[in-house]
């Protein structure tokens, strides 16, 4: 018999609206004590009047203490439901993309909270970010095997979310044999993906459409790609006709991959790298009198929690201000943020202030967000996190 978790009075409103999360302060712990639950156990969620509302997995030690996996209380999260959800997710991606390179499962956006799966053709990279998902790793592998018959499945379990759930880090090949090189193609450009030792799953599919937009504006231009990682923006810019690209990152290992990816596409002559922290690099380039036609700012999240918002906004403002100093008279700035807690209008304000600080004018000509392989759950604002602004910056 499945355990029950009862909500306090009126604590079911968000669930009725479609949300998938329950917080520990919403549980009627007198009737159904949270402390009695084993982390990862599945339970029937009940409204205060006892009406069943869905099935969730539970973590009594987390602020988000339960996550809904089905509205049907007769269903359980098992291999069968994973197969069904993976097929649902796959059908969307196959409609959107001609080639098998995309985020296959985007957590709550695909009704599988706590699970990320990125697809690099026949190699799948999986992140199990919650206890509930971690307990079901064998069922997940079996379901992926059934739906996609991959060559290899990698567990890239080193996210900050796991630490919040009191889970350890682990990176391993969970199934099959990993090829010497994992390749992907994005916007017609090929890349080697560091799935074992790279950031996140090795690649950031979320900016694909934003890169495609910028690719149309770089022909003959001098481009600076700050926080370049393995060259997603910079190498694509070179492939689409940029005369010169400088990729800046603090990781020597990432920059080796930039050079490798440039060479893979016959672009070694156009792409240079510079190992430096971003703010130091921008200051040094200014001191050297360098100027660029196009600058890409795609930093890591400066705001990880609500309390980081003031400091984070100051960092975004400073970053944009320092970059604009390096733009020519009529330049293009691509300013991005993956901080879920930074509202789009606040990024706009950071950029506006930076433009005026340099006594220039700005025209916002593009506003982008995450691609369709990161579907936004309409009841969960947290699933919409990515912002990208294309801004023409010019003098009077």
Q: What is the pLDDT of residues 174-197, one digit of tens each?
A: 999 999 999 999 999 999 999 999
Fold of 183-394: Rossmann fold (3.40.50)
Burial (CB count within 10 angstroms: exposed 0-12, middle 13-18, buried 19+), residue 74: exposed
Alpha-helix runs per DSSP H in the chain: 13-17, 79-96, 131-134, 137-148, 160-164, 208-215, 234-239, 252-264, 278-287, 309-324, 344-357
Averaged pLDDT for residues 318-336:
97
pLDDT of 6 higher than 60 = yes
The predicted model gives 102-112 an average pLDDT of: 98
What residues have CB less than 8 Å from 84, skipping those under 6 apart? none
* Mean pLDDT confidence for 125-138: 97
Average pLDDT over residues 128-147: 97
Concatenate the DSSP letters of all residues of 307-359 into one string: GGHHHHHHHHHHHHHHHHTTEEEEEEEEEEE--TTS-HHHHHHHHHHHHHHTT
Mean pLDDT of 265-276: 97
CATH class assigned to 79-180: alpha beta
Distance CA 300, CA 160 (A): 13
Task: State pLDDT tens for residues 74-92.
Answer: 999 999 999 999 999 999 9
Catalytic residue numbers?
Answer: 338
Mean pLDDT of 16-36: 95
One of 3.40.50.300, 3.40.50.1170, 2.30.130.10, 1.10.10.10 is the CATH number of 4-70, namely 2.30.130.10
* pLDDT higher than threshold 90 for residue 73: yes
Alpha carbon separation from 184 to 76, 146, 252 (Å, rounded): 35, 22, 22
- Residue 159 is predicted with a pLDDT of 86
Percent of the chain past pLDDT 70, that is, above it, reads: 100
Angle between helical axes of 344-357 and 309-324 (0-180°, round to 10): 40
Higher pLDDT, 392 or 396: 392
pLDDT per residue as tens digits for the range 45-71? 999 999 999 999 999 999 999 999 999
Domain locations along the chain: 4-70, 79-180, 183-394
Secondary element (H or E) of residue 275: strand 271-275
Give the model confidence (pLDDT) of 36-48 as tens digits.
Answer: 999 999 999 999 9
For the cut 70, the answer to whether the pLDDT of residue 1 exceeds it is no
Is 253's pLDDT higher than 90? Answer: yes
Bridging pattern class, strands 189-192 and 222-226:
unpaired
Residue 386 near residue 336, CB atoms below 8 Å? yes
Q: How far apart are the first and last CA of the chain?
A: 72
Confidence of residue 163 (pLDDT cuts 50, 70, 90): confident
- Check residue 396 and give its pLDDT: 82
CA–CA gap between residue 116 and residue 110 (Å, rounded): 9
Q: Residue 31, Cα to own-chain centre: how many angstroms?
A: 38
> Regarding beta strands 292-297 and 222-226, do their DSSP bridges make them parallel or antiparallel, or are they unpaired?
parallel
pTM of this structure: 0.95
* Average pLDDT, integer, range 271-275: 97
Q: Give the range among 101-110, 163-172, 249-258 with minimum mean pLDDT.
A: 163-172
Q: How many of the other CB atoms lie within 10 Å of CB of 124?
A: 27
């Amino acid at each position: 018999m499945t355990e029950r978790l009862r909500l306090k009075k009126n604590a079911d409103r968000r669930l009725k609206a479609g949300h998938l999360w329950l917080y520990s302060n919403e549980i009627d712990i007198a009737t159904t004590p949270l402390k009695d639950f084993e982390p990862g156990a599945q339970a029937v969620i009940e409204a205060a009047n006892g009406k069943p509302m869905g099935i969730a997995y539970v973590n009594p030690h987390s602020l988000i203490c339960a996550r809904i996996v089905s509205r049907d209380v007769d269903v359980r999260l098992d291999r069968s439901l994973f197969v069904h959800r993976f097929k649902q997710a796959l059908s969307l991606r196959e409609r959107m993309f001609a080639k098998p390179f995309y985020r296959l499962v985007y957590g709550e956006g695909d009704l599988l909270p706590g699970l990320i799966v990125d697809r690099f053709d026949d190699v799948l990279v999986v992140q199990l970010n919650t206890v509930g998902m971690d307990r079901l790793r064998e069922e997940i592998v079996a379901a992926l095997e059934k739906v996609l018959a991959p060559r290899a499945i990698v567990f890239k379990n080193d996210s900050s979310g796991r630490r919040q759930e009191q889970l350890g880090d682990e990176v391993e090949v969970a199934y099959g044999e990993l090829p010497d090189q994992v390749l992907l193609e994005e916007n017609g450009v090929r890349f080697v993906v560091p799935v074992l030792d790279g950031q996140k799953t090795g690649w950031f599919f979320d900016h694909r459409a934003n890169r495609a937009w910028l690719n149309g504006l770089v022909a003959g231009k001098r481009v600076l790609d700050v926080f370049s990682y393995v060259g997603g923006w910079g190498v694509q810019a070179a492939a689409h006709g940029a005369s010169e690209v400088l990729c800046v990152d603090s990781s020597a290992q990432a920059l080796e991959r930039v050079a490798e990816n440039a060479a893979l596409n016959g672009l070694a002559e156009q792409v240079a790298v510079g190992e430096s922290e971003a703010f130091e690099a921008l200051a040094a380039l200014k001191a050297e009198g360098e100027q660029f036609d196009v600058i890409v700012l795609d930093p890591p999240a400066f705001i990880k929690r609500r309390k980081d918002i003031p400091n984070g906004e100051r960092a975004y403002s400073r970053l944009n201000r320092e970059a604009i100093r390096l733009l020519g008279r009529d330049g293009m700035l691509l300013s991005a943020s993956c901080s879920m807690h930074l509202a789009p209008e606040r990024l706009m304000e950071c950029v506006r202030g930076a433009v005026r600080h340099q006594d220039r004018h700005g025209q916002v000509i593009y506003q982008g967000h995450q691609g369709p392989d990161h579907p936004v759950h309409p009841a969960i604002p947290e699933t919409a996190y990515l912002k990208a602004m294309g801004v023409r910056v010019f003098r009077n």
